Amino acid sequence: MLPAVFCLGLFSIGTAVSSSAASIFLTRYFAGLFGSAPVGNVSAALGDIYDPKSRGIAITFYAVAVIGGPTIGPIIGAAIVVNPHLGWRWTEYILAIWVFAVFVLAFFCLPEMYAPVLLKRKAQRMRKETGNSSLYHPHEQMKLDFKSIVSKHFSRPLLMLTTEPMVTAIALYASFVYALLYGTLEVFPIVFQEIRGYSLVVSTLPFLGLFVGVVAAVGINLANQPRYIRILDANKGHPVPEARLPPMAVGGILFAIGLFWFGWTADPSIHWASPVIAAAFIGAGFNVLFQQCVNFLVDVYALYAASAVSANTFLRSVFAAAFPLVARPMYHNLGVGPATSILAGIATLMIPVPFIFMRYGLALRRKSKFAPVEEDEDEEKGDV
């Protein structure tokens, strides 16, 4: 993660000093490329650091950062852009400053936590201390070269996305929800700046409604923890991924309600507080869905969690990048109410998906080559 984060900072500076559209596009491309490393690896790192009982809490607050960032970013960006002493280039300079600060903090304070690497280092240390050359760990045979990067680190997420039924199912679900959220983000400037006529900074303040919802979702996710721990203990400490899913049912309903509510209260004749409250429902619903999808994949794949999460991140990023290109013309042509209702209708159709995962998740996991199912999990299926 650290080399990639450092490169993200460099290319952010590159964008800030760019003098043409081509250089902006190029530097933003590489910033996105290197910036994807933490997104794809932090969930797996949390799986290395925390046991299944504690991991749910850790990923809950990680999800707040991942989803809360895009909701706070427009407000900060707007304030920087309208400041006559700063301007748009400082959105990139400030990003670079923040990135390098995090890089330094992580470099000195974040230890290696990946179990195979730690065991490799232990074997090397014991060989040196004891002189016993038979002490080794298989991870010592792994080499990080171009061939291994392509054959394992790059191809494995794509392989899992296309051959692992559970990764494919979760990734498709998360991607559709992610695309709906990013499509919704496109409507905020239309509703509050174009239609209501608010200034640039004021028109971004309703994003705080989304952020409040994201934070409120923490309570929903944490409320499932005692139940999950009981099922985990009953399963002899083995993770039970399907036990992570009940909050997703609540999240799906909140998400659909928020979309319908927002779409039909966006008109200027209705007080601004109504669509902002609706935005809180959207933020809460999405955070619950996102967090439990990540928890589920880490529970299922453990050692290969980084690849599973990367596969999920890849697909949802494609959807999130493409959907806003469609959303703005759709809102302008159909109107905010009808266009948002289409998205809300899709979200409504997706409400049963968590129940399907709860019912058939174990059967899908049995087909996995990367996550063998423990034999005693069948006994716990009735309790999930």
pLDDT digits (tens, 9 = 90+) for 31-66: 988 988 887 778 778 878 888 778 778 888 888 888
User: Is residue 218 one of the residues assigned to a domain?
Assistant: yes
pLDDT, tens digit, 9 for 90 and up, residues 229-253: 888 888 887 778 888 888 888 888 9
CATH of the domain at 284: 1.20.1250.20
pLDDT for 381 beyond 80: no
In eight-state DSSP terms, residue 372 is P
- If you write DSSP's letter for every residue of 124-179 in order, what string do you get? HHHHHHH--TT---GGGG---SHHHIIIIIIHHHHHHHHH-HHHHHHHHHHHHHHH
Query: In angstroms, rounded to a whole number, what is the distance separating the alpha carbons of residues 158 and 174?
Result: 16
Q: Is residue 182 assigned to a domain?
A: yes
Give residue 150's pLDDT.
Answer: 63
Is 341 inside any structural domain?
Answer: yes
- Does residue 177 form part of some domain? yes
Helices then strands, each counted (H, E), the chain: 17, 0
The pLDDT of residue 353? 84
The total number of structural domains in the chain stands at 1
Distance CA 284, CA 270 (A): 23
pLDDT of residue 148: 65
Res 64: pLDDT: 85
Mean pLDDT of all residues in 68-82: 88
8 Å CB contact between 209 and 265: no
Q: Is it the case that residue 281 has pLDDT exceeding 70?
A: yes
Q: Is the pLDDT of residue 87 over 90?
A: no
Q: Measured over all CA atoms, what is the biggest interatomic distance in the chain, rounded to whole angstroms?
A: 80
Pick the range with the lowest mean pLDDT from 174-178, 209-213, 265-269: 174-178
Instruction: State which residues form the domain around 214.
Output: 47-85+146-366
pLDDT beyond 50 at 380: no
| pLDDT for the residue 384 | 47
Of 4-13, 135-144, 219-228, highest mean pLDDT: 4-13
Core vs surface per residue 51-81: b (16+ CB within 10 A) or e? ebeebbebbbebbbebbbebbeebbebbebe
- CA–CA distance, 311 with 292 (Å, rounded to integer): 16
Q: In whole numbers, what is the pLDDT of the chain averaged over residues?
A: 83
Cβ count within 10 A of residue 91: 19
Per-residue pLDDT band at 225 (split at 50, 70, 90): confident
Across residues 278-290, what is the average pLDDT?
89
In a domain, 113, yes or no: no
- 178 in any annotated domain: yes
Least confident stretch, 73-82, 112-121, 290-299, 368-377: 368-377
Determine, yes or no, domain membership for 263.
yes
The answer to whether residue 119 is domain-embedded is no
Please report the pLDDT score of residue 273 as a whole number.
92
Q: What is residue 383's predicted lDDT score, i.e. its pLDDT?
A: 44
Residue 111 pLDDT exceeds 80: yes
Confidence band (pLDDT; 50, 70, 90) for 274?
A: very high
Q: Is the per-residue pLDDT at 379 higher than 50?
A: no
